[in-house]
Amino acid sequence: MRPIAFIDTETTHLSAEIGHAWEVAVILRQFEDDSTHTDTEYLWEFSVDLTDADPEALRIGRFHERRQLVTCTTLAAFTGSVPAVLMHRTEAVEAITRLLRGTVLVGSNPGFDDRFLRKLLGPGNAQWHYRPYDIVQLAAAKIGAQAAGPLPWRTHVLSRAVGVEPPAEDVAHTALGDARWARDVYDAATRPEPVEMSWEGRAKHAIGMYTRTAIELEDAQRALRASAAAVERARTLASRWGILRAYGGAATELRRALDGPSTSVNSPAQPATSGTEHYHFADADGDQLHIGIPGVPANSAPAVSFYTPTEPVHIPVERLHEILNAARNLAARARRRPASPPVPADGWHVGRQWHGHELEDRCPCKQAPCGLVIAAEASPECTEHGPGSTKSTRQSHPADTCPVTDPS
């Protein structure tokens, strides 16, 4: 089953073309099987520019009472932990992008949140399912469209109709509070009902079973198509690898020939030609390559002849050297160790986890009062934070803005 993301955003304006999201909450539901799942809560705050802010939108979300960051900076914070974890805006955007990839969005008016999330994350990063689901529609489906009354449906009324009390005044219009409300309404609206032992009840049960089976079949067909595509790609890569290995073996033998072969054998495959010495080589795979250097080439330029069952193919030596040099450079680049990601400059505290510092507590690096590692004093032996580590940094802040002061 696809993971579900119960979402909510608090914004500086009702229009995504003008305002920005300053608070984002996600409750990620991941399924182990049809009856077991886990919910994980995430909450971020972003520093925003209030130049075009709508005072009413700020009042609804209680921006001035609840915000923790100053405005007009590139900072963000993971506020789902205590204390909050300060980070750069791009780190938070990357985290939300990864979290929502492949999920189905559920919320109260999720189209509103969808627009602000697309603006926040940037082009190409809205990688969730294209159809978000509104809890007011789920609740109406539960009690029946006729019982829900005329449009527009009111979320608070239908929430109570499925047994879920809307958030209290001090919780409403907080991103995490509204995301929890969306989750509770979803659970109430999708909770299975006992089957009534009547013709109507049995018919509804049969329709439900048919729908679930059709969805599972469609998912299985999609997975089968993906598997077939993966198999075909593997075959293509295997064929390409075989060709590259053949090219690599041929280049090795050509280089040996140009540098002067240690062993030369007159090739019986071709008749002796005046002014031409034939060489017969076998590469590591057992493939054979016959080459020779004519003493008097037809075009009066040094060339290497590739003998085939039909006519020789002559390639100028200068061009052959260019090909071999390019092959050497390509091989050198392939063998070169990938560069390590940049390590924050002196004066930064870094951590490998999104929140907390459990991993830093176990490593040999020197820790700052906040529990993160002092980047400039990371241990060379540490595989998590050391200078040679290729692992990503998931939280960081400058030492002079560390949320925990040194008790000494």
44 and 163 inside one domain: yes
In what helix (H) or strand (E) does residue 110 lie, and over which residues does it extend? helix 110-121
Domain final residue, candidates 191, 210, 243: 191
187 and 203 inside one domain: no
State how far the alpha carbon of 389 is from the alpha carbons of 161, 339, 384, 385, in Å.
Answer: 55, 10, 6, 6
In what helix (H) or strand (E) does residue 210 lie, and over which residues does it extend? helix 199-259
Per mean pLDDT, which range of 114-118, 141-145, 150-154, 376-380 is the poorest? 376-380
| Residues 6+ positions from 184 with CB-CB distance below 8 Å | 164
18 pLDDT higher than 90: yes
In a domain, 408, yes or no: no
Identify residue 5 by its one-letter amino acid code.
A
Confidence label for 263 from pLDDT (cuts 50, 70 and 90): very low
Q: Residues 130, 104: contact at Cβ < 8 Å?
A: no
Residues in the chain: 408
In a domain, 369, yes or no: yes
353 and 279 inside one domain: no
In a domain, 342, yes or no: no
In a domain, 148, yes or no: yes
179 and 323 inside one domain: no
> Total domain count for the chain?
3
Predicted local distance difference test score (pLDDT) of residue 287 = 44
For residue 70 the two structure tokens come to 């100053």
> Pairing mode, if any, of strands 348-351 and 313-316?
unpaired
Cis peptide before 369 (omega within 30 of 0): no
Q: Which residue has the higher pLDDT, 301 or 11?
A: 11
User: CA geometry: angle at 241 spanning 240 and 247, to 5°?
Assistant: 90
Domain final residue, candidates 191, 220, 242: 191
Residue 15 belongs to a domain with what CATH number? 3.30.420.10
Q: Residues 41, 25: contact at Cβ < 8 Å?
A: yes
Give the global pTM.
Answer: 0.55
91 and 237 inside one domain: no
Domain hosting 395: range is 348-401
Q: How far apart are CA 257 and CA 265, in angstroms?
A: 12
86 and 231 inside one domain: no
State how far the alpha carbon of 348 is from the alpha carbons of 37, 109, 381, in Å.
Answer: 38, 40, 19
161 and 214 inside one domain: no
Predicted local distance difference test score (pLDDT) of residue 316 = 64
Predicted local distance difference test score (pLDDT) of residue 161 = 94
67 and 185 inside one domain: yes
